[in-house]
């Protein structure tokens, strides 16, 4: 794994804050410059979710800043902000209601593990609202809003464990209500904004070698009304404060020896109202400001010599931008809207200042500001293995994928095909971390479970496998949630969904309390879990509708809400796009293939049909399976009756589909899967063909072309296919 370092590196330190205690719509926090050395890459993004007490983990696509879900970890109550250790090995989450700090290790591939002893309690401190790490990684600083003090904790450089230092917490003197915090690039000064009336104040402390804090002469310094965020320029000579109540930006020159501040610029905010977050752009030429009052992101030119501000303009429009951050590589700005559970992202022009919209994705409940981990290499999704459930001979075939070409080689030398006899496997799914494969067996009403050898691709049965379902359930579809904690099985015979907890180390399945859960519809065929892991959708072929479930923390499903759908053809397959904003349903009729498209409400999971849906892709007939590429650009449909694959381009702003190219032949296809690199499509072709078709995806147009050597022989009646890989 490539070594990583956090955004809190040599050039700048994130100032992470939340704002008014207990008020999700409050502002908070800003970040200074790009924060990484030249040539570094952003690998991991972390997002605290204040409402459901989790931290979402994403891998970052270097080319376009898109976020790939890697699940979530559980934090304390009401996580407000995150700071990443300069080594990139640990991250720390402050919890505003439980008054503690959760600590996790983080790998370069986004795997998070709780540090022993976490969470760490704060002494004589309540309402933690902002957090920062010193550049040398020795200390963690926490601003506590309710008690108006600052906690300092030492960091064990080996384990990541925390211990409060002697004298902590440190008094803010006359300053009350801290809202944001930042450490000077030198590591010698700490800055804290305070919302203590009119005006607000900015406290400055000298950081002693042992981590203790000493107020500088003249601290706290007056700023505007209700300061909510601050940012330092790359050299630490200027600090900017966003005054949400005063609709202004205060700018101070910083004496880097004494910490003394000199106010040299207070600009009335020119591009909107209620600035809630602020960040210095790459190169230090522009200041970006989130205007939560007017729903815009403003940009303000910075004088490169003096740091003074001049009139700028509106860089982007976002419904309610409460937090903004720029990734360590300086390529992408992310704006979080906690009220709608969406993050919008924009390409940054470091020379001219304007932002270019690059996408939007759904988040978990109450998402706050992003934090980042960077490394010396970009995230590189690489496919490794494909697995096929063969219903006719009760086996699972395993193939190695050649990453450069997509060519498949059956892993005969390590035992493929693997027997599940006499189970008649019709569905399978791998967990998101490529650790396990789960197989739904319609012949025996059971689940087979295997561990994956990530080196050889071989499968080993998990203790207790196969796991029994209620007789007569006839499982037809299986899916894991994005965190890899839960497995869901659609039972066509009993019109319900079985839910299981997955043991992270072993893959052993345990039935979730209350399982199975009624769909409310009839003839359920397939299940999809949207990428944030908050909702599950089940398509019902007989009643021609979709059941919506909220996913509870223990994996249980809420009461199914049946969503009537307009089209009358049997609903057969279902998939969400990678951003969690759109849902697609295949309508399996006897005429031209159609796919219905829906916008997902990020707040409650409800569906609104996209204009001009359903979409046709002649001459395909009998769609049975759908798959979307990892970047959400293309949708592919396996059409069993017409023995071909249709392709659509996805309008990433609206979800509208546009048929692309001509359909490509695939004999009696039953299942389709796009690999995690987004370069190849694999199709399981049922009896009597008994093989797998492989196609390369044109990365510009989405058009498919056959991989050399395709199709590849499998077992008898291949019914389902999935792929795994590494990053």
Secondary structure of 582-622 as H, E, C letters: EEEEEEECCCEEEEEEEEECCCCCCEEECCCCCEEEEEEEC
Q: Within 182-297, where are the H helices?
A: none
Whether the bond between 525 and the residue before it is cis, its omega within 30 degrees of 0, is: no
How sure is the predictor about 174, in pLDDT bands with cuts at 50, 70 and 90? confident
Percent of the chain at pLDDT exceeding 90: 80
pLDDT band at residue 271 under the 50/70/90 scheme: low
Is the peptide bond prior to 464 cis by the omega test (within 30 degrees of 0)?
no
Backbone angles phi, psi at 233, to 5 degrees: -75, 170
Q: What is the pLDDT of residue 14?
A: 36
Alpha carbon of 1 to those of 108, 435, 450: distances in Å? 6, 17, 25
pLDDT digits 0-9 by tens, 427-470: 999 999 999 999 999 999 999 999 999 999 999 999 999 999 99
Contact status, residue 43 vs residue 91, Cβ threshold 8 Å: no
Q: What is the pTM of this model?
A: 0.91
Q: What is the per-residue pLDDT for 711?
A: 98
Residue 401 has pLDDT above 70, yes or no: yes
Strands 30-31 and 275-280: parallel
Give the model confidence (pLDDT) of 95-111 as tens digits: 999 999 999 999 999 99
CB under 8 Å to 388, separation ≥6 — which residues? 396, 397, 399, 428, 684, 692, 714, 715, 718, 720, 721
Among candidate residues 324, 223, 308, the one with its CA nearest the CA of residue 272: 324
Strand 425-430, strand 418-419: pairing: unpaired
Q: Give the pLDDT of residue 5.
A: 41
Question: Looking at the DSSP assignment, which residues form a beta bridge with residue 652?
Answer: none
pLDDT of residue 267: 59
pLDDT higher than threshold 90 for residue 296: yes
| 192 torsion bin: left (phi>0), alpha (psi -120 to 50), beta (else) | beta
Residues 175 and 203 sit within 8 Å (Cβ to Cβ): yes
Q: Which helix (H) or strand (E) holds 725?
A: strand 718-726
Q: Sorting pLDDT into bands at 50, 70 and 90, what band is 25?
A: very low
pLDDT at 592 over 70: no
Q: Where are the beta strands (DSSP E) in 257-394?
A: 261-268, 275-280, 286-291, 296-301, 313-317, 323-326, 332-337, 342-348, 355-362, 371-375, 382-390
- The mean pLDDT value of the chain amounts to 90
Computed on alpha carbons and rounded to an integer, the radius of gyration of the chain in Å comes to: 26
Give the tens place of pLDDT for each residue, 76-85. 999 999 999 9
Alpha-carbon distance of 205 to 503, in angstroms, equals 46
Does position 270 have pLDDT exceeding 80, yes or no? no
- Taking residues 358-363, report their average pLDDT: 94
Rounded CA-CA distance 331/207 in Å is 32
User: Is pLDDT larger for residue 611 or for residue 528?
Assistant: 528
Position 29 scores a pLDDT of 45
Per-residue confidence (pLDDT) for residue 265, from 0 to 100: 65
Q: What percent of the chain clears pLDDT 70, i.e. is strictly above it?
A: 92
- Per-residue confidence at 409, pLDDT binned at 50, 70, 90? very high
Task: Give me the pLDDT at residue 3, please.
Answer: 42
**C-beta neighbour count of 443 within 10 angstroms:** 16
Flag whether pLDDT at 9 surpasses 80: no
404: CB partners within 8 A, 6+ apart: none
d(CA 191, CA 218): 13
- pLDDT for 568 equals 64
pLDDT range class, residue 266, cuts 50, 70, 90: low
Q: Average pLDDT in the 227-251 region?
A: 92
Q: How is residue 480 written in tokens? A: 């894991």
Residue 21 near residue 122, CB atoms below 8 Å: no
Distant-in-sequence, close-in-space partners of 237: CB < 8 Å, separation ≥ 6 = 253, 254, 256, 307
Q: Does residue 34 have a pLDDT over 50?
A: no
- Give pLDDT, residue 405: 98
Whole-number Å distance between alpha carbons of 579 and 154: 38
Top-confidence residue, 610 or 617: 610
For residue range 658-708, list pLDDT tens digits in order: 999 889 999 999 999 999 999 999 999 999 999 999 999 999 999 999 999
Asked whether the beta carbons of 192 and 178 are under 8 A apart, the reply is yes
Model confidence pLDDT, tens digit, residues 194-218:
997 678 999 999 999 999 999 999 9
């Amino acid at each position: 794994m490539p070594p990583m370092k956090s955004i809190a590196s040599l050039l700048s330190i994130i100032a992470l804050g939340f704002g008014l205690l207990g008020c999700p719509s409050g502002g908070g926090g800003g970040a200074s410059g790009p924060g990484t050395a030249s040539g570094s890459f952003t690998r991991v993004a972390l997002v605290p979710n204040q409402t459901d007490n989790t931290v979402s983990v994403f891998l970052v696509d270097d080319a376009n800043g898109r976020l790939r879900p890697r699940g979530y970890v559980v934090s304390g109550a009401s996580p407000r902000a995150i700071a990443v250790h300069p080594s990139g090995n640990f991250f720390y989450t402050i919890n505003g209601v439980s008054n503690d700090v959760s600590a996790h290790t983080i790998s370069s591939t986004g795997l998070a593990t709780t540090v022993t002893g976490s969470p760490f309690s704060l002494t004589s401190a309540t309402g933690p609202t902002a957090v920062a790490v010193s550049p040398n990684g020795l200390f963690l600083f926490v601003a506590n809003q309710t008690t108006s003090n600052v906690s300092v904790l030492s960091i064990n450089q080996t384990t990541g464990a925390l211990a409060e230092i002697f004298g902590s917490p440190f008094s803010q003197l006359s300053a009350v209500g801290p809202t944001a915090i930042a450490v000077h690039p030198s590591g010698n000064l700490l800055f804290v904004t305070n919302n203590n009336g009119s005006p607000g104040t900015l406290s400055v402390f000298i950081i002693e070698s042992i981590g203790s804090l000493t107020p500088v002469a003249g601290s706290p310094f007056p700023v505007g009304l209700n300061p909510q965020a601050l940012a330092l320029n790359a050299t630490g000579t200027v600090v900017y404060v966003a005054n949400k109540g005063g609709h202004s930006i205060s700018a101070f020159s910083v004496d880097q020896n004494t910490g003394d501040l000199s106010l040299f610029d207070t600009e009335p905010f020119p591009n909107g109202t209620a600035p809630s977050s602020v960040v210095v752009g790459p190169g230090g030429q522009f200041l970006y400001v989130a205007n939560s009052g007017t729903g815009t992101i403003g940009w303000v030119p910075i004088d490169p010599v003096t740091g003074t501000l001049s009139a700028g303009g509106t860089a982007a429009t976002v419904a309610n931008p409460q937090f903004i951050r720029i990734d360590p590589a300086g390529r992408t700005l992310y704006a979080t809207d906690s009220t709608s559970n969406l993050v919008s992202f924009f390409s940054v022009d470091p020379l001219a200042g304007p932002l270019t919209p690059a996408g939007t994705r759904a988040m978990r409940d109450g998402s706050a500001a992003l934090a980042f981990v960077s490394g010396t290499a970009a995230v590189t999704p690489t496919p490794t293995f494909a697995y096929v459930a063969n219903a006719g001979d009760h086996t699972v075939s395993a193939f190695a994928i050649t990453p450069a070409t997509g060519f498949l080689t059956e892993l005969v030398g390590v035992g493929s095909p693997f027997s599940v006899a006499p189970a008649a496997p019709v569905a399978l799914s791998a967990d998101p971390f490529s650790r396990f494969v789960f197989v739904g067996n319609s012949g025996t009403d059971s689940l087979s479970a295997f561990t994956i050898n990530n080196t050889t691709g071989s499968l080993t049965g998990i203790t207790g496998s196969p796991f029994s379902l209620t007789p007569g359930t006839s499982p037809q579809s299986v899916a894991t949630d994005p965190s890899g904690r839960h497995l869901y099985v659609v039972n066509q015979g009993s019109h319900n969904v079985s839910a299981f907890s997955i043991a992270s180390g072993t893959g052993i399945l345990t039935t979730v309390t209350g399982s199975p859960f009624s769909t409310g519809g009839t003839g359920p065929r397939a299940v999809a879990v949207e990428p944030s892991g908050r909702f599950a959708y089940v398509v019902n072929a007989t009643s021609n509708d979709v059941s919506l479930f909220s996913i509870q923390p223990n994996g249980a499903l809420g009461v199914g809400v049946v969503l009537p759908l307009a089209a009358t053809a049997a609903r057969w397959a279902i998939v969400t796009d990678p951003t969690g904003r759109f849902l697609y349903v295949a309508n399996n009729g006897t005429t031209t293939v159609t796919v219905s498209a829906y916008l997902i409400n990020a707040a409650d999971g409800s569906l609104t049909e996209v204009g001009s849906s359903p979409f046709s892709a002649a001459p395909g007939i009998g769609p049975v399976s759908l798959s979307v590429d990892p970047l959400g650009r293309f949708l592919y449909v396996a059409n069993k009756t017409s023995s071909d694959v249709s392709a659509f381009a996805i309008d990433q702003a609206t979800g509208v589909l546009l048929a692309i190219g001509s359909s490509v032949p695939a004999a009696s296809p039953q299942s389709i899967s796009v690999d995690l690199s987004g370069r190849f499509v694999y199709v399981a072709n049922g009896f009597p063909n008994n093989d797998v078709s492989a196609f390369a995806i044109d990365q510009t147009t989405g058009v498919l072309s056959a991989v050399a050597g395709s199709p590849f022989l499998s077992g008898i009646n291949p019914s389902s296919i999935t792929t795994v890989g590494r990053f």
